[in-house]
């Protein structure tokens, strides 16, 4: 029997039941739901051979696109993925996994409990801290406060705008003693996928390290570069994930058929829609948009990046595959300085490993160690602007969860990774 047959049969039997139970057959209705709690949703790790796992993912993504958000797949490698399963689909999931000879391991038996713990009021301290997660206005408030506290070093900058009218705010750090002509610039992008909360948290932690640390190495790192750091380049999506749907990934633009959002890391004008994306506006995860740069977030941010003078490095933070990725994400062919990028990346990971002994995979292209994906920001920056040092760090976690009390661990790792990365880049002559 063809592997899609049991899925089609299940679809036919359960179509009306889904409509009655979930009312999730259109994204438009999902947008009207007050808060999606994910009560009773289980998280599984699914492992097996690549061919079977590919078949599972392909079939389930079709199912997901039709019924919305029942399985939210996160691929971690060729032989491993994690997925959420609603209570009503557990039996079907178990049967389907067995048919493909895959192995499913339960990680969380009710993800809603984790979601509640993430935003417990007791985690918050007065002001801004790194023992809790914060909504977008709080993050922007922190950036504003830092720009007011260090006016000679910092500037609050706007990298673009969002569909709902928010500004994409970042902090430019450029110390006066280093304001020399031709100073290399570093752009940090974070939070492009709304549900990856650890990335804005870690990015603000790194900002705090750059501005407040008395470690001579970190002070030197701050002074060497013209930093443009953006903790959340998808502010609408992040706010929606914080207030309505914890697993929301996309932007919040509205398509003509009433579905919401596009994947902002599949919407850049590089091999758009070629791999790892689709043209279905109701796809909960990887809809690439109606055209390249259809999303105002990616379009305006690309204009800002294009105008950054002397752009040496572009760093993107994602979660949570725990690996370091290089361009191009949809190819196993290597660019002209690939070997240098690997050498620099290994040094970066070595520095990070010394903090918590957390081992990251890579450096390599996503096509080599994860999956092919086109239309991403990192690849566009490398292709369109020729930026030499371009990396994507996939931070740690379990299906986008990382304990708030341990944010500092990843913050310290990232700080050391940045020290290692730019030290080795300097050793190889990428800047003086």
Going residue by residue through the chain (432 aa), what tens digit of pLDDT does each one get? 233 333 444 443 333 333 223 333 334 434 445 899 999 999 999 999 999 998 988 887 777 666 655 577 888 888 999 999 989 889 888 998 999 999 999 999 999 999 999 988 888 888 899 999 999 999 999 999 999 999 999 999 999 999 999 999 999 999 987 555 679 999 999 999 999 999 999 999 999 999 999 999 999 999 999 999 999 999 999 999 999 999 999 999 999 999 999 999 999 999 999 999 999 998 888 999 999 999 999 999 999 999 999 999 999 999 999 999 999 999 999 999 999 999 999 999 999 999 999 999 999 999 999 889 999 999 999 999 999 999 999 999 988 999 999 999 999 999 999 999 999 999 999 998
| Angle between helix 90-99 and helix 5-22 axes, rounded to 10 deg | 170
Q: Give Dmax over CA atoms of the chain in angstroms.
A: 70
| 154-161/389-395 β-pairing | unpaired
From first CA to last CA, the distance across the chain in angstroms is 62
In this structure, how many other beta carbons lie within 10 angstroms of the beta carbon of residue 418?
24
**What's the gap between Cα 345 and its chain centre?**
19
Q: What angle do CA 28, 34, 40 make, to 5 degrees?
A: 100
* Residue 368 is among the residues annotated as catalytic for this protein: no
Q: What are phi and psi of 108, to 5 degrees?
A: -130, 130
Domains and their CATH numbers in the chain: 5-118 (3.30.70.340), 122-427 (3.40.630.10)
For 144-172, b where at least 16 C-beta lie within 10 A, e where not — what string? eebbeebeebbebbebbbbbeebebbbbb
Which of 295, 394, 413, 424 is an active site residue?
394
């Amino acid at each position: 029997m063809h592997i899609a047959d049991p899925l089609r049969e299940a679809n036919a039997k359960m179509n009306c039941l889904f409509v009655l139970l979930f009312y999730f057959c259109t994204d438009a209705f999902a947008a009207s739901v007050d808060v999606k709690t994910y009560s009773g949703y289980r998280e599984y790790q699914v492992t097996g051979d690549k061919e079977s796992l590919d078949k599972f993912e392909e079939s389930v993504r079709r199912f997901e696109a039709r019924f919305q958000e029942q399985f939210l797949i996160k691929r971690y490698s060729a032989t491993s993925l994690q997925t959420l399963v609603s209570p009503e689909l557990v039996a079907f999931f178990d049967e389907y996994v067995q048919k493909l000879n895959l192995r499913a391991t339960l990680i969380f038996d009710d993800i809603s409990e984790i979601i509640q713990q993430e935003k417990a009021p007791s985690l918050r301290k007065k002001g801004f801290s790194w023992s809790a997660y914060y909504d977008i206005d709080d993050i922007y408030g922190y950036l504003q406060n830092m720009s007011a506290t260090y006016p000679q070093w910092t500037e609050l900058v706007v990298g673009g705008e969002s569909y709902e009218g928010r500004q994409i705010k970042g902090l430019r750090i450029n110390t006066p003693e280093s304001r020399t002509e031709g100073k290399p610039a570093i752009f940090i992008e974070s939070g492009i996928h709304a549900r990856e909360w650890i990335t804005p948290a870690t990015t603000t932690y790194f900002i705090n390290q750059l501005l407040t640390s008395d470690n001579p190495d970190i002070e030197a790192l701050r002074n060497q570069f013209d930093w443009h750091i953006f903790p959340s380049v998808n502010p609408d999506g992040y706010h929606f994930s914080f207030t309505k749907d914890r697993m929301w990934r996309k932007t919040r633009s509205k398509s003509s058929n009433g579905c919401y959002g596009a994947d902002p890391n599949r919407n850049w004008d590089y091999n758009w829609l070629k791999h790892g994306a689709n043209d279905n506006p109701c796809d909960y995860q990887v809809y690439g948009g109606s055209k390249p740069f259809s999303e105002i977030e990616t379009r305006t941010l690309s204009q800002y990046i294009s105008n950054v003078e002397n752009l040496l490095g572009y760093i993107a933070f994602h979660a949570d595959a725990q690996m370091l990725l290089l361009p191009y994400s949809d190819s196993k062919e290597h660019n002209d300085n690939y070997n240098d990028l690997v050498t620099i990346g290994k040094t970066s990971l070595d520095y990070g490993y010394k903090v918590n002994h957390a081992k990251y995979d890579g450096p390599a292209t996503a096509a080599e160690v994860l999956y092919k994906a086109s239309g991403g920001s990192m690849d566009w920056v490398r292709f369109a602007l020729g930026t030499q040092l371009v990396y994507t760090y996939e931070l740690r976690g379990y299906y986008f969860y990382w304990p708030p009390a341990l944010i500092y661990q990843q913050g310290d790792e990232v700080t050391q990774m940045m020290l290692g990365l730019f030290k080795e880049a300097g050793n190889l002559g990428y800047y003086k």
